[in-house]
Chains A and B, each alone.
Chain A
Amino acid sequence: MRHTHILLAHGSGGSMMHDLIRELFLPAFDNPLLQQSNDQAVFDPQTKRLAFTTDSYVVQPLFFPGGCIGDLAVHGTINDLAVGGAVPIGLSAGFIIEEGLEVEILQRIVDAMKLAADNAGVPIVTGDTKVVERGACDKLFINTSGIGVIADGVNIDGANARDGDVVLLSGCIGEHGVAVMSERKGIRFSTPVVTDSKALHRLVQRMLDVCSDIHVMRDPTRGGVASTLNEIASQSGVGIEIDEASLPITPEVQGACDLLGLDPLYLANEGALIAIVPAVHSDALLAAMRETPEGVNARMIGTVLSDTPGLVRMRTGIGGTRIVNMLSGEILPRIC
């Protein structure tokens, strides 16, 4: 790339755009489907059911402790497939670039996406690039969509939670929220809080190996664990009670929250999942989760109840009760 900054011409469909694709995007995302250079990637899935998801990433700032918008975009969409029980088979990546963005920054982000995709074993098979005038977007927006295949017998749905089920959480909460916020506000830590952004599809497959009867799975991103549990309670028409003492929160995240008056239950997570499963499978699942790198801190955090449908409540440290509402308003805008 002879240019140091992205220009409008890089998005025009002409030779400069082809240069950008050939010299920056293709080498990073190189795979047989992408090499065909068609307008579409064609799959031949062996299963009857497909999962399809899309997400756009507008996180500000682009780089934060432990990650950047690029790997977030890869992990986030993989995870949306994974929590449906799908094996991801390909991603698309659409870039909307603000005129004037340094090529070096774009390169770093694309390299991060390549690393994330390679590590996850999920190729980026098709993409798009647009360049907009200065001010028309904030440096870079990325959309990733994903396709996955779902094996027969896997039936994971937000409406499947049943009275007596237990709620499992795969890892510590609040880390992504605090990592992005600390970067934004220039907050320093003695032990930096880094994003928990990671792909969860292998964890999910391990869980499905152990238990084919997982009722609900979701990743608590924007809105945090609180909002996700409220969504599920509402969809399934059940109540959920969680136990405050069981929530895995690191002292650094708790300290940042105390300082800024935040509640970790509402902070975004990018590498954790919630699973609602029949109580009888809880021990086996937790044991299996804890053997994976993504699930070492897996805990049971609550139970599903039939009284108070749609309500999520928490048993506090002293044995009292408080409800846990859906997030109201925004805590931190543009967190993912």
Chain B
Amino acid sequence: MNLLTAFRDSTRAAPLIERIRRRDTGPVSLMEFCGGHTVAIFRGGIRTVMPEHVRMLSGPGCPVCVTSNADLDRAIALAKTPNVVLTTYGDMLKVPGSRESLAQIKALGTPVEIVYSTIDALRLAQNYPDKQIVFFAIGFETTAPAAAAAVIQARNWGLRNFSMCSVMKLTIPGAQALLRMGEVKVNGILGPGHVSSIIGAEAWRFLPEEHGVPVVISGFETLDILAAIDALLAMIEGGKADLINEYRRIVKPEGNRKAWNTVRNVFDVVSSSWRGFGEIPASGLRLRREWEEFDADKRFEITVYPSDEHPACRCGEVLRGVLEAPDCTVFGTACTPEHPLGPCMVSSEGSCAAYYHFHQSARLRINNSKRS
């Protein structure tokens, strides 16, 4: 069995879609908390086969998007520090900070390298001992183990020229903050499959128990998502709120303890500033005291000027699920992937970008507004 293509087998999709269409739930809103789900749902055309009464919402599941301008400005200032080579996952490159983006400073000669893995950043540090390699660590729990492993490896290899600037965040505090704000009614939640592979399916038990919201931990292939949506609708139809793990081929109830312990050995959980939410307590990861030597914020002195967001940017509302991208006044006009005002339009997992690149009605709306 091919583990990848088997879950993309469209011939199995029709019965799932049929079941979804027959669920008697009345109007409902289902929210996902993972950029990977945002993209998969748009790219697979899943939204377009949902019945009218099922609304799909995007929550703050894109780590690039929830990174604040202040944090990005700090990374840009680090990149400009003499002798520093800033390394980052590609997604961050085009996001506009208060004044410029990493892509722009790179074009003007500041060393910024895209890496696919922290291992690449470590190798850069090994190969260029006279350069200071700084890794800009964004991501949620899925990605945190890779960052922790890199710091441990840097110590093992005795690397004096490697450091990390962490703006990593925790998904559940973000989800809790969103639910507590009560701005948007959510009837069911599609749980992030890969985050859950680290923190465990049980980490989401609080949703049905404390909030009465059913949750299905879902994989990322089309069949996974359709099955998860059907299970959510079935629970809503039956009036019961429960935790279900659709992605059990990978997600264990307790998750990957070794990976999570590795993260906790290297990082402290601290308060963190989220775009759209402000400061959320115990929602971010910062290097622990014993790993301080690898903390870029402590190693380098940088001057960061006051940060602000573009006045017309409404990414915050998009991330809280209260504004759907096509309803944003600048969607596709002043704000496009080529000239983004905020991260949601330019991140590979951003909700605005997903609408812009994949959604027919959104595209038609832009075309029509251009003609008038």
Q: Are A322 and B338 in contact (CB under 8 A)?
A: no
CB-CB under 8 A for A329 and B49, given A317-B44, A322-B358: no
Q: Give the shortest distance, in Å, between A56 (CB) and chain B (any CB).
A: 21
**Partner-binding segment picked from A4-12, A112-120, A162-170, A307-315:** A307-315
**A190 CA / B226 CA spacing, docked (Å):** 33
A320 touches B337 (CB 8 A): no
Query: Is B87 part of the binding interface, using a Cβ–Cβ cutoff of 8 Å?
Result: no
Known A245-B10, A325-B356: A318·B363 in contact at CB below 8 Å: no
In chain B, positions 52-91 with a C-beta closer than 8 Å to chain A are none
Residues B49 and A261 in contact, CB atoms below 8 Å apart: no
Contact A317 B8 (CB under 8 A): yes
Interface size counted on chain B using CB atoms at 8 A: 31
A40 on the interface (CB 8 Å rule)?
no
The answer to whether residues A323 and B358 also contact, given A260-B116, A318-B226 and a CB cut-off of 8 A, is yes
Question: Which chain A residues in 255-269 approach chain B with CB under 8 Å?
Answer: 255, 258, 260-261
Bound CA–CA A313/B359 (angstroms): 9
**B44 touching A316, Cβ below 8 Å:** yes
Closest to B90 in A: A261
Tally A-B pairs: CB < 8 A.
74
- Tell me if A15 is interfacial: C-beta within 8 Å of chain B: no
Interface string of A249-282 (1 = CB under 8 A from B): 0010001001011000000000000000000000
Asked whether any CB of chain B lies closer than 8 Å to the CB of A32, the reply is: no
Cβ-based interface call for B29 (8 A): no
A328 proximal to B (CB < 8 A): yes
| C-alpha spacing A104/B145, complex, angstroms | 47
The contact of A321 among B222, B226, B360, by CB within 8 Å, is B360
> How does the 8 Å CB contact mask read for A321-336 relative to B, with 1 for contact and 0 for none?
1110100110000000
Q: Is A319 interfacial (CB 8 A cutoff)?
A: yes
Chain B contacts for A323, CB-based, 8 A: 357-360, 363
* Max chain B C-beta neighbours (<10 A), residue from A251, A314, A320, A323: A320
> Is B333 an interface position by the 8 A CB rule?
no
Q: Taking the nearest CB of chain A, how far is it from the CB of B13, in angstroms? A: 4
CB neighbours of A321 from chain B (8 A)? 45, 48, 360
Whether B49 pairs with A318 at a CB distance below 8 angstroms is: yes
Q: Knowing A258-B4, A260-B116, A329-B337 touch, does A320 contact B44 (C-beta < 8 A)?
A: yes
CB-CB nearest in chain A for B225: A318
Chain A residues contacting B49 (CB-CB under 8 Å) are 318-320
Chain B interface, DSSP helix/strand/loop, else mixed:
helix
A156 to B290, CA, bound (A): 69
Q: How near does chain B come to A278, taking the closest CB pair, in angstroms? A: 26
Contact A328 B46 (CB under 8 A): no
Q: Which of A161-212 contact B (CB under 8 A)?
A: 185
Minimum CB distance partner of B44 in chain A: A316
Q: Does B348 contact A (CB under 8 A)?
A: yes
Q: In this complex, what residue of B is CB-closest to A311? A: B363
Complex Cα gap A224–B348 (Å): 18
**CB-defined contacts of A311 to chain B, threshold 8 Å:** 360, 363-364, 367
- The interface residues of chain B lying within 8 Å CB-to-CB of A314 are 45
A319-B45, A319-B49, A320-B48 as given contacts; A325 in contact with B367, CB under 8 Å: no
Is B10 touching A322 in the complex (CB atoms < 8 A)?
Answer: no
Flag if B359 contacts A322 (CB, 8 Å). yes
Q: Which of B309-328 contact A (CB under 8 A)?
A: none
B42 on the A face (CB < 8 A): yes
**Candidate in A251, A255, A323 with the most chain B CB atoms within 10 angstroms:** A323
A18–B14 Cα gap in the complex (Å)?
69
For the complex, give the distance between the alpha carbons of A255 and B363 in Å.
29
A residues in contact (CB < 8 Å) with B: 185, 245, 251, 255, 258, 260-261, 308, 310-311, 313-323, 325, 328-329
19 more A-B residue pairs beyond the given contacts A316-B45, A318-B17, A320-B48, with a C-beta to C-beta distance below 8 A: A185-B116, A255-B4, A308-B360, A311-B363, A311-B367, A313-B360, A316-B43, A316-B44, A317-B8, A317-B13, A317-B222, A318-B13, A318-B44, A318-B226, A320-B47, A322-B358, A323-B357, A325-B363, A328-B338
Q: Which 6 pairs, one residue from A and one from B, show the smallest C-beta to C-beta distance?
A: A320-B45, A317-B10, A316-B45, A318-B13, A320-B48, A322-B358
Listed by A's residue number, 6 A-B pairs whose Cβ atoms lie within 8 Å are: A311-B363, A317-B44, A318-B13, A322-B359, A323-B359, A328-B338
